[in-house]
């Protein structure tokens, strides 16, 4: 007997749903299941397409070059053109470093977002996608915080543990938490309110755009990138955030003498981060030549073979920083330790 599955008859609401993107108002936040959804005129989903199609490997790269909207090489927002609001196609030269699998808020997270996002979440005018930043928008830290103080920017703040701890320990500094996932931002807002902090703001935005246009040049004292997605499969390495095009963006926002701090628990990504910093003429490694041989975390990772081919090859280059004492030990880092992973820290100074 032939079997036929008619999705429209069984699940009419689901098949016809267009999964709208986040509206201009901040409450409530609807579910978003696609990566880098256009901000306007989103096309309806094709009922015949697999539900996970937007997350399949290589879809972005398989798009014919002539059908793509123009994009910049470093992933930043491109200038406004008559084709800027195209509903289809992508608008960056390189793939983004994240895939947004959902932004649904519930319970206390939804309540925190409803009650406090108007004051604690930076209201960013969008460009094309709901995580993009209009290239004409410039963040005014003095107006936002009501004072002039050193500004620390954390890229990929997650649930906010690191930035909240740092803000409590450093009331003389202001902190901007950059994240694309709404639940993480809502959780961070919860913690800001619970700790009665006035020196933290959150922003839902793609990091390269924050660094290339949103933040004024030379306005930041430190940029933190702690445990970004390692995209450890070879075919996904191109999605890593920290690469040669990222260093100039960090350099742009840092003031002279400003510090770029990084941490990862993935050895190949750590090596990539190290070489990106070394290759940039804008930065000096604060720990150049330090922690080599048996003292190197890379040597330890090679000996363990937990995330790379096991070997007894010694790391003769070094350049690794000691663990940054301003970074709280988060549950994520604890999991890395329990899995036997080695933690790598790096620190570069803006020349």
Measured between alpha carbons, how far is 64 from 211 in angstroms, rounded to an integer? 29
Residue 78 pLDDT class (50, 70, 90 cuts) = low
Rounded to 5°, the CA angle 232-282-176 comes to: 65
Do 110 and 118 touch, CB atoms closer than 8 A? no
Q: What is the pLDDT of residues 233-278, one digit of tens each?
A: 777 678 799 999 999 999 999 999 999 999 999 999 999 999 999 9
**What is the reported pLDDT for 74?**
61
Q: What structural domains does the chain harbor?
A: 104-216 (3.40.50.150), 227-351 (3.40.50.150)
**What is the reported pLDDT for 117?**
80
Could you give the 3-state DSSP secondary structure of residue 263? strand
Residue 127 pLDDT more than 90?
no
Of 114, 115, 229, 282, which residue is the catalytic one? 229
The CB density around residue 50, as the number of other CB atoms within 10 Å, is 9
Q: What is the pLDDT of residues 146-182, one digit of tens each?
A: 999 999 999 998 889 999 999 999 999 999 999 988 8
Q: Report CA dihedral (164, 166, 170, 176) to the nearest 10 degrees.
A: -70
> Counting beta carbons within 10 angstroms of the beta carbon of residue 332, is it exposed (0 to 12), middle (13 to 18) or buried (19 or more)?
middle
**What is the reported pLDDT for 270?**
96
Q: ω into residue 28 within 30 of 0, thus cis?
A: yes
229 is catalytic: yes
Do 207 and 241 touch, CB atoms closer than 8 A? yes
> For residue 49, what are the CA distances in angstroms to 7, 31, 45, 182, 332?
11, 19, 8, 26, 35
Do 2 and 18 touch, CB atoms closer than 8 A? no
> For residue 156, what are the CA distances in angstroms to 107, 197, 264, 319?
23, 20, 12, 24
**What is the reported pLDDT for 48?**
38
Computed over every residue of the chain, the mean pLDDT equals 78
Measured between alpha carbons, how far is 155 from 178 in angstroms, rounded to an integer? 5
Q: What is the pTM of this model?
A: 0.72
Do 213 and 125 touch, CB atoms closer than 8 A? no
Residue 93 pLDDT class (50, 70, 90 cuts) = low
Query: H helices within 69-122, ranges in order?
Result: 107-120
**What is the reported pLDDT for 20?**
40
């Amino acid at each position: 007997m032939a079997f036929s599955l008619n999705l429209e008859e069984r699940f009419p609401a689901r098949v016809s749903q267009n999964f709208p993107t986040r509206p201009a108002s901040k409450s409530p936040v609807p579910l978003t299941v696609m990566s880098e959804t256009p901000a306007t005129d989103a096309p309806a989903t094709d009922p015949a397409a697999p539900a996970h199609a937007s997350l399949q490997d290589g879809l972005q790269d398989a798009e014919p070059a002539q059908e793509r909207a123009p994009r910049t090489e470093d992933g930043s927002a491109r200038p406004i053109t008559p084709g800027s609001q195209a509903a289809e196609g992508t608008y960056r030269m390189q793939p983004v470093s994240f895939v947004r699998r959902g932004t649904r808020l519930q319970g206390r997270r939804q309540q925190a977002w409803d009650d406090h996002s108007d004051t604690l979440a930076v209201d960013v005018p969008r460009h094309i996608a709901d995580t993009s930043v209009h290239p004409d928008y410039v963040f005014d830290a003095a107006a936002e915080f009501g004072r002039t103080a050193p500004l620390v920017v954390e890229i990929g703040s997650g649930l906010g543990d690191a930035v909240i701890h740092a803000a409590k320990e450093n009331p003389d500094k202001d902190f901007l938490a950059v994240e694309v996932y709404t639940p993480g931002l809502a959780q961070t807002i919860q913690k800001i309110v619970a700790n009665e902090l006035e020196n933290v703001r959150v922003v839902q935005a793609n990091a390269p755009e924050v660094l290339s246009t949103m933040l004024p040049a030379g306005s930041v004292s430190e940029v933190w990138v702690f445990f970004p997605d390692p995209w450890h499969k070879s075919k996904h390495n191109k999605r890593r955030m920290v690469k040669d095009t990222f260093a100039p963006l960090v350099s742009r926002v840092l003031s002279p003498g400003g510090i770029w701090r990084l941490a990862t628990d993935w050895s190949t990504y750590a090596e990539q981060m190290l070489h990106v910093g070394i290759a940039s003429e804008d930065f000096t490694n604060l720990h150049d030549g330090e922690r080599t041989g048996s003292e190197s975390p890379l040597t330890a990772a090679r000996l363990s073979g937990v995330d790379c081919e096991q070997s007894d090859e010694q790391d003769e280059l070094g350049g690794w920083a000691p663990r940054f004492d301003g970074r709280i030990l988060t549950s994520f880092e604890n999991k890395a330790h329990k899995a036997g992973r080695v933690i790598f820290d790096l620190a570069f100074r803006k020349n």
